[in-house]
């Protein structure tokens, strides 16, 4: 897609899953999930390691998932971060260019009720942050092993840009955001479905529990699931299944009420 808001970049890649029926009914609009990847990964990892197409096709065919467009943006190439930095306005790009581009070029139901966001690790943390910053945009936020605050990461030890990246993560720490909020945003957060999914051996476990406690203190409803596992694809593959089924349940519940 064409890109103007990322400095030095004129085009940006992404991956997209379209259900089998896509294009057969000209006027049909589909719910959409923005599925974010983790640090040092790419927009193709959900397909390469998570078997996204096979999982989505199977869940749709057996009736456990709504037909849905799933979009995987690229958040690693050039600068590995989902947030705005002084020289890299990724969050602006995501909301001002990327989502509008998807909604213009694909048969997307552009209502909040039909828009979802999910991700693992760095992408899980960004999903939470995006949901807190833009509660009017998403019906449900599903975080898998969310990287929520500064922690030591072995693969960043020789990366000269690691410090600014870690500082950006800490600047957007959603635990602190929820704990320190004192204005009307809490009511807006209560209009979002929050789901926290984390392994019991994951190095992000304590941070995710702290986020849950912050939600509890502010009386923001959430769901928490802890399963056996760590910070790897052995955990995220089944987590993807849970996420797609859950978001479909939310979509069906909202539409039943209408």
Judge whether 116 lies within some domain.
yes
Tell which phi-psi region holds residue 63, choosing left (phi > 0), alpha (psi between -120 and 50) or beta: left
Distance CA 22, CA 17 (A): 10
Judge whether 8 lies within some domain.
no
Nearest by Cα to 231 from 151, 168, 131, 165: 151
CATH number at residue 214: 3.40.50.1820
Instruction: Name the 3-class secondary structure at 203.
Output: coil
Tokens 């802890």, located at residue: 226
Judge whether 9 lies within some domain.
no
Judge whether 24 lies within some domain.
yes
CA Rg value for the chain: 17
Judge whether 2 lies within some domain.
no
Tell which phi-psi region holds residue 96, choosing left (phi > 0), alpha (psi between -120 and 50) or beta: alpha
Whether the Cβ atoms of residue 122 and residue 82 lie closer than 8 Å to each other: yes
pLDDT reported for residue 150: 87
Judge whether 1 lies within some domain.
no
pLDDT tens track of the chain, all 258 residues? Answer: 999 999 999 999 999 999 999 999 888 999 999 999 999 899 999 999 999 999 999 999 999 999 999 999 999 999 989 999 999 999 999 999 999 999 999 999 999 999 999 999 999 999 999 999 999 999 999 999 999 998 877 766 777 777 888 899 999 999 999 999 877 889 999 999 999 999 999 999 999 999 999 999 999 999 999 999 999 999 999 999 999 999 999 999 998 766
Instruction: Name the 3-class secondary structure at 171.
Output: helix
Distance CA 197, CA 207 (A): 12
Q: Which two tokens stand for residue 187?
A: 């009511």
- Element holding 164 (H helix, E strand): helix 162-171
Distance CA 33, CA 65 (A): 12
Whether the Cβ atoms of residue 166 and residue 211 lie closer than 8 Å to each other: no
pTM: 0.96
Judge whether 18 lies within some domain.
yes
Judge whether 67 lies within some domain.
yes
Instruction: Name the 3-class secondary structure at 26.
Output: coil
Residue 116's alpha-carbon distances to 3, 11, 157, in angstroms, are: 23, 24, 33
Number of independent structural domains in the chain: 1
Residue 27 has φ and ψ, to the nearest 5°, of -100, 5
| Domain limits for position 83 | 14-257
pLDDT reported for residue 258: 61
């Amino acid at each position: 897609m064409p890109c103007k808001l990322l400095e030095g970049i004129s085009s940006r890649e992404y991956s997209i899953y379209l259900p089998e029926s896509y294009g057969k009914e000209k006027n049909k609009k589909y719910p959409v999930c923005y599925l974010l990847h983790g640090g040092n990964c790419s927009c193709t990892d959900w397909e390469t390691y998570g078997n996204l197409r096979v999982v989505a096709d199977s869940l749709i065919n057996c009736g456990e998932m709504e037909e849905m467009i799933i979009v995987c943006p690229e958040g690693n190439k050039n600068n590995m971060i989902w947030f705005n930095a002084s020289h890299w306005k990724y969050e602006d790009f995501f909301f001002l260019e990327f989502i509008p581009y998807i909604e213009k070029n694909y048969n997307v139901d552009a209502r909040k009720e039909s828009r979802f966001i999910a991700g693992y690790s760095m992408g899980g943390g960004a999903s939470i942050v995006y949901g807190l910053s833009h509660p009017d945009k998403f019906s449900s936020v599903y975080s898998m092993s969310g990287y929520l605050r500064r922690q030591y990461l072995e693969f960043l030890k020789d990366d000269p840009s690691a410090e600014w990246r870690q500082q950006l993560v800490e600047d957007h720490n959603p635990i602190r955001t929820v704990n320190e909020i004192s204005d009307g945003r809490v009511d807006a957060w209560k209009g979002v479905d929050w789901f926290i999914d984390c392994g019991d051996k994951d190095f992000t476990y304590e941070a995710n529990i702290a986020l849950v406690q912050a939600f509890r203190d502010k009386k923001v409803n959430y769901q928490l699931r802890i399963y056996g596992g760590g910070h790897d694809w052995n955990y995220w593959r089944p987590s993807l299944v849970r996420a797609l089924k859950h978001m479909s349940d939310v979509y069906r519940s909202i539409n039943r009420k209408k």
